Copies of this chain bind each other. A is one copy, B any other.
Amino acid sequence: MNDHMQTQEMLEAIENELHRSVADPGESELNQYYSMLAYHLGWEGEGAGPEARGKRIRPLLVLLTCAAAGGNWKDALPAAASVELVHNFSLIHDDIQDNSPLRRGRETVWRRWGIPQAINAGDAMFTLAHLSLLRLEETTSPEITTRAANTLHQACLQLTKGQYLDLAFETKDYLPLNAYWQMVGGKTASLIGACTELGAIVADVSKQRRDSFREFGFNLGLAFQAQDDILGIWGDAALTGKSNESDLIAGKKSLPVIFALDQGGTFAARWAQGKIQAEETKQIASLLENEGAREFSQESASQMTDKALNALTEADPKGQAGEQLISLANRLLSREL
């Protein structure tokens, strides 16, 4: 089977497992309850379809890691579904917290059903994630299941710490770089580290290899966020100035911005004067680049990527899945996928 076919098979199995985890209760009183979850997952409602579903990168990482660690990836499906559901729970709550009207081009859950129901839909998605994980007992053992549950819950705890910092940072004028990495570590990298650790847990490898697989995922997550921050200012969508897609307009304290604020130059002076307008984005992106923010961010992303790939080498991935894992990491960082 070639790489593409294998990935397709995994993605279909992931979608089936998600449907198993988020099943329609089939009671007419609970129709809307189910619809909110199915809508958010891209299965139902206006705009439903592959575009609305996201790339399912996290569950794919679980399955590929499991296979690369020598396990049967099908055994890891309950864990794969659980990380995707945790990710989506956090998006539903994030959209309320950030007051975001749109997600993947569609109305967010809170805009459609109101904040109270959206909070509850997120709570339901979170609970379904944990129930999904516990189905590992059918494919592995109670010992592996409790180990996996601990890993997932610890990542969720880091997620809430990262989210706390992200919300707290909104009102701060200045952020040290280590606070940025702490926030990104919690909000993004911990869950991706849990993905690769979960794959290794299901494959039942040594503690040392489990740790290396987790380090791979965690640093991949940090690199991915740095890369995402670069694209948020210098990516095509950000630079057109026609859309509101630039992180500069949103006032987001991303890596290039934090670096430049620390420099205390022309950009920092402009930032202190208030909200950046759409027509300024190109000019301010150039200013940031001249002050070294782009190079610094790319250097950071590159360092994290090296760390990730070194950890992966130590984890000693095997066979076709090992190569796919490296190729997925590379595609993720160049954002082709």
Nearest residue, chain B, Cβ from A165: B29
Give Cα distance in the complex from A119 to B32, angstroms.
22
Question: Which residue of the partner chain, among B98, B127, B142, B161, contacts A33 with CB atoms under 8 Å?
Answer: B161
Binds B, one of A149-157, A203-211, A267-275, A322-330: A149-157
Partner of A137, one of B25, B98, B137, B146: B146
Give the most central of A25, A123, A126, A146: most B CB within 10 Å.
A123
Q: A142-B145, A153-B134 are in contact. Are A117 and B160 (CB under 8 A)?
A: no
A226 within 8 A of B: no
Residues B32 and A168 in contact, CB atoms below 8 Å apart: yes
Near B by CB (< 8 A), chain A positions 1-50 give 25, 29-30, 32-33
A153 touching B130, Cβ below 8 Å: yes
Complex contacts, A145 vs chain B, CB 8 Å = 142, 146
Q: Which residues from B are CB-within-8-Å of A154?
A: 131
Query: Given the interface contacts A119-B93, A126-B123, A146-B142, does A164 sit within 8 Å of B131 by beta carbon?
Result: no
Residues of chain B lying within 8 A (CB to CB) of residue A102: none
Instruction: Give residues in A with beta carbon < 8 Å to B.
Output: 25, 29-30, 32-33, 93, 96-98, 115-117, 119-120, 122-124, 126-128, 130-131, 134, 137, 141-143, 145-146, 149-150, 153-154, 156-157, 159-161, 163-165, 167-168, 179, 182
The 6 closest A-B pairs by CB, nearest first: A142-B142, A97-B116, A124-B160, A33-B164, A127-B156, A142-B143
A126 cross-chain contacts in B, Cβ below 8 A: 123, 126
List B contacts of A137 (CB < 8 A).
Answer: 146
Please name all residues of chain B whose beta carbon is closer than 8 Å to the beta carbon of A116 when the two chains form the complex.
96-98, 167
Main secondary structure of the interface of A (DSSP, over half): helix
Q: Which of B93, B98, B124, B134 contacts A149 (CB 8 A)?
A: B134
**Cα–Cα distance between A185 and B314 once the two chains are bound (Å):** 51
B163 near A120 (CB under 8 angstroms)? Answer: yes
Contacts A93-B123, A96-B115, A142-B143 known; 4 new A-B pairs at CB < 8 A: A123-B163, A124-B157, A130-B149, A142-B145
- Given the complex, which residues of B lie within 8 Å of A168, measured CB to CB? 32, 117
For A96, the chain B residues whose CB sits under 8 A away are 115-116, 119
CA distance A163 to B121 in the complex (A): 10
Cβ contact within 8 Å between B29 and A179? yes
Pick the residue among B29, B124, B160 that contacts A123 (CB under 8 A).
Answer: B160
Can you report 21 A-B residue pairs in the complex whose CB atoms are below 8 A from each other? A29-B179, A29-B182, A30-B161, A30-B165, A32-B164, A33-B161, A93-B119, A96-B115, A96-B116, A96-B119, A123-B126, A123-B160, A124-B164, A127-B153, A130-B156, A131-B153, A134-B150, A134-B153, A142-B142, A142-B146, A146-B146
B167 pairs with A120, CB closer than 8 A? yes
Give A144's nearest chain B residue, CB to CB: B142
User: What residue in chain B is nearest A160 (Cβ atoms)?
Assistant: B124
The 8 Å CB contact of A117, one of B142, B143, B164, is B164
Q: How far is the CB of A29 from chain B (nearest CB, A)?
A: 6
Q: Across the interface, do B25 and A161 meet the contact criterion of CB distance under 8 Å?
A: yes
Give the complex CA separation of A115 and B33 in angstroms.
22
In the bound assembly, the distance between CA atoms of A160 and B160 in angstroms comes to 20
